[in-house]
Amino acid sequence: MKFDTPATNNPIDQLKIVGKPVDRIDGPRKTTGTAPYAYERHDVAPNQAYGYVLGSGIAKGRVTAMDTAAARAAPGVVAIVTTLDMPRLEKGAMNTAWLFGGPDIQHYHQVIAVVVAETFEQARDATAMIRVSYAREPGRFDLAAEAPNAQLAAADSGEGSGAAHEERTGDFEGAFAQAPVTLDATYTTPDESHAMMEPHSSIAAWEGDKLTVWTSNQMIAWGKRDLAKTLGIPAENVRLDSPYVGGGFGGKLFLRADAVLAALGARAARRPVKLALTRPLVANNTTHRPATIQRVRIGAERDGRITAIAHESTSGDLPDGKPETAVSQTKLLYAGANRLTAMRLAVLDLPEGNAMRAPGEAPGLMVIEIAMDEMAEKLGMDPVEFRIVNDTQVDPEHPQRPFSQRQLIQCLRQGAERFGWSRRNATPGRRREGNWLVGMGVAAGFRNNLVMKSGARVRLDGSGGVTVETDMTDIGTGSYTVIAQTAAEMMGVALEKVTVRLGDSSFPVSAGSGGQWGGNSSTAGVYAACVKLREAVAQRLGFNSAEAEFTDGQVRAGNRSAPLGQAAGADGLVAEDHIEYGDLGERFQQSTFAGHFVEVAVDVATGETRVRRMLAVCAAGRILNPKSARSQVIGAMTMGVGAALMEELAVDKRHGFFVNHDLAGYEVPVHADIPHQEVIFLDEVDPISSPMKAKGVGELGLCGVGAAIANAMYNATGVRLRDYPMTLDKMIDRLPEVA
């Protein structure tokens, strides 16, 4: 099915099941520990051995020798594969760093060996016996030091947010020079780790030249293609299966070393091998959100209208890497005739920088939305009003191109009302409760809606049951449930009559989970397959498909009705289709919006910042399931608290690695950090987006949160911080005297 004209009325609009806050259909399995994650799939292949990987102890240079004699002789060891055993493997299309093979070291904790043994402990113990000799080379590890060498670079984030290396509209410099009120400030965001609960894990088994990998991956088709390419085998010989994913946040979008080394280990051991990356390797072996240095310049008239806006970002990556697309949202967020965005990329010898939840948007909004707060103060305007004055209903670089829906003003107005924004004291540092300085902050949330081709197969059985198969993944987001709701709504059956099977590369290729495109696109693919199935059912039962109604397990037209299952026959009835998109995405800017409101308290003596309450008002198209959507948004808001207050991969600039590579050193929010969160979804349907009229929310909930916290901290203390995370050491010198 091609979606190239705005959606009209369709069976989803009945909203009997879609749009309802139903519980997750996979919830009972997950809460009882019976949903098997990749490392727990003991039953999929017999006689599994355990793999353990060794990461490089240097960041740049060469492995000159590896002594594996002691390890090979260690108890239980079945096989050892070292990086010196083979030339460098091919690289997957989505990878920047090479994953294995050859003597060259590109980054710390690059995998240099896998040890396979009868038990996990034996594999780990033997790995520690491998003696490695290195020839170290100097590397480039300090973004600030390398920034002057950074080159202009264009990029797409891989999750759809992109920007040219430099884009200009009007005359930025001229307009900025003439503006009566201006801001020119530089901000930084740190490297961040996805820090998902489940580390990258895979079980690999060979049958002849056919490889099956039970893994944890967000994008099955990408993973299959890139694993085949890396191993140099035909893609049709590879099967990936990833029905449950214990968190990804972009860290599992791409093929990683776990799948490659499980496959190599299994080939060497001649039996199935399971392995998981250790926690330190999640930080230093896989990908991370790259640090940025961002400069923002804004010029405005005294009435608050922006006349000039510039956003430039510098980040670093390995050679042939990509910049963090931190300026992408500034192209679209606010009006202003004269505009400049630019991205620069420095070469760094740190681990690969790549997509993490809202890549580009998250760190970009962390910055631009502080800058807006600073400008509002310079103008003497309320920060909510300043944003509203500069709202735009069209793409500011291409004014002929409207937003399909844009309710940012409504999000901000309703949020301000609900949050009690009018009680905020515009003068910072004035509200004190005991030892706490209390403040409120606001930021706009803004994430584009991306649409991706997505396929599904639906099967009707004789009892009226419907089974959906698609390689879509559920990374904790609720995919199982919204897909079941879609199929139930389309086929007119109860939710319990739908079975959803996900994550298997033998199923039709879906949108996968990334860029907050998964919910809308994968359900639209299921919609397309169900349209076909409805036609087939109608034909079998002798109905005119345009008139047939599918309700309560029955198919009705006129005064005739028949049980749905009757159409299945003995063999069942199968339909397969995909949704693909025309040019609506070019003709319209599709985006999601939020107003993020935060109240913080800052200890006047120590500078400890604690979030007191948070509100997100979201406009994101039709909400397919308000319960799972809310879960996504509050999870994202929590991640925003981490980004604002504590998350930072600390770089050892001498030796080139992320030092705090475990969950004791890389702090993310704990329960005590998150006292109260509220989420409101505005009524919105977006017929431009898909037949579902839905959009994504999973990344919207993060975008802007960090800045709202920064702005609340400023309102509380009068100390303006421009460097994330905003830890107490950055303001302790500027807080009031303690009595």
Cα(691)–Cα(524) distance, rounded to whole angstroms? 6
Which listed residue (290, 669, 691, 706) binds other proteins by CB under 8 A?
669
Which listed residue (125, 191, 576, 580) binds other proteins by CB under 8 A?
125
Stretch that binds other proteins, among 120-128, 337-345, 501-509, 704-712 (CB under 8 A): 120-128
Element (H, E) at 439: strand 436-448
Count of residues touching other proteins (by CB under 8 A):
45
Site for other proteins in 631-660 (CB under 8 A): 645-646, 650-652, 654-655, 659-660
Residue 121 contacts other proteins per CB under 8 A: yes
Decide if 699 is catalytic: yes
Residue 664 contacts other proteins per CB under 8 A: yes
Residue pair 239/270 in contact by the 8 Å Cβ criterion: no
Q: Which is nearer to other proteins, 552 or 608 (CB)?
A: 608
Q: Which is nearer to other proteins, 58 or 259 (CB)?
A: 58
Site for other proteins in 73-112 (CB under 8 A): 75
Q: In the complex, what is the shortest distance from the CB of residue 519 to other proteins, in angstroms, rounded to a whole number?
A: 30
Site for other proteins in 554-613 (CB under 8 A): 603-608, 610
Q: Which is nearer to other proteins, 130 or 468 (CB)?
A: 130
Contacts of 325 (CB under 8 A, 6+ apart): 155, 156, 157, 161, 162, 163, 313, 343, 359, 360, 361, 364
Residue 739 contacts other proteins per CB under 8 A: yes
Q: Which is nearer to other proteins, 570 or 738 (CB)?
A: 738
Q: In the complex, what is the shortest distance from the CB of residue 509 to other proteins, in angstroms, rounded to a whole number?
A: 40
Element (H, E) at 315: strand 306-317
Cα(12)–Cα(6) distance, rounded to whole angstroms? 14
Residue 671 contacts other proteins per CB under 8 A: yes
Which listed residue (13, 156, 673, 723) binds other proteins by CB under 8 A?
673
Residue pair 355/698 in contact by the 8 Å Cβ criterion: no
Cα(272)–Cα(265) distance, rounded to whole angstroms? 8
Cα(199)–Cα(281) distance, rounded to whole angstroms? 9
Q: Which is nearer to other proteins, 274 or 578 (CB)?
A: 274
Cα(429)–Cα(435) distance, rounded to whole angstroms? 12
Cα(598)–Cα(620) distance, rounded to whole angstroms? 20
Cα(601)–Cα(174) distance, rounded to whole angstroms? 41
Site string for other proteins, 127-166 (x = CB under 8 A): -x--------------------------------------
Element (H, E) at 387: helix 383-389
The active-site residue, picked from 312, 374, 469, 699, is 699
Is 178 exposed, middle or buried (CB count within 10 Å of its CB: 0-12, 13-18, 19+)?
Answer: middle
User: What does the block give as tokens for 550?
Assistant: 């599918």
Residue pair 246/539 in contact by the 8 Å Cβ criterion: no
Residue 728 contacts other proteins per CB under 8 A: yes
Tell me: cis bond preceding 272? Omega within 30 of 0 counts: no
Residue 723 contacts other proteins per CB under 8 A: no
Q: Which is nearer to other proteins, 340 or 646 (CB)?
A: 646
Residue 665 contacts other proteins per CB under 8 A: yes
Q: Which residues bind other proteins (CB under 8 A)?
A: 55, 57-58, 75, 121, 124-125, 128, 280, 435, 603-608, 610, 645-646, 650-652, 654-655, 659-662, 664-665, 667, 669-673, 725, 727-729, 732-733, 735, 738-739
Active centre residues (catalytic): 699
